[in-house]
């Protein structure tokens, strides 16, 4: 994901890790470091993500240029 930039011609727009219950907060926090501002859709349904991971997703969404959809149901948010 880190190599997808506009300068290389590759742009990451959609990413899904849904139904990966081993992802958890640690996994989504690590992935979010590579999320691009060009991503418009993110899927993390049923990934055992708690509040820390949820906040990380929100922080990414604030920097994204045009976020359209974040599917995050079935997680462990408070």
List, for residues 31-64, the tens digit of each pLDDT value: 999 898 889 999 999 999 999 999 999 999 999 9
Q: Is the dihedral of CA 73, 12, 21, 54 positive or negative?
A: negative
Helices marked H in the chain — which ranges?
Answer: 24-32, 51-63
Does 6 score more than 80 pLDDT? no
Query: Which of 4-8, 19-23, 69-73 is least confident?
Result: 4-8
Does 9 score more than 70 pLDDT? no
Residue-level pLDDT at 36:
86
Average pLDDT of every residue of the chain: 90
């Amino acid at each position: 994901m880190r190599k997808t930039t506009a300068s290389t011609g590759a742009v990451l727009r959609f990413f899904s890790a849904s139904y990966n219950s081993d992802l958890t907060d640690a996994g989504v926090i690590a992935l979010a470091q590579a999320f691009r501002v060009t991503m418009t859709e993110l899927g993390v349904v049923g990934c055992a993500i708690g509040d820390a991971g949820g906040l990380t997703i929100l922080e990414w969404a604030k920097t994204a240029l045009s976020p359209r959809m974040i599917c995050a149901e079935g997680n462990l948010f408070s």
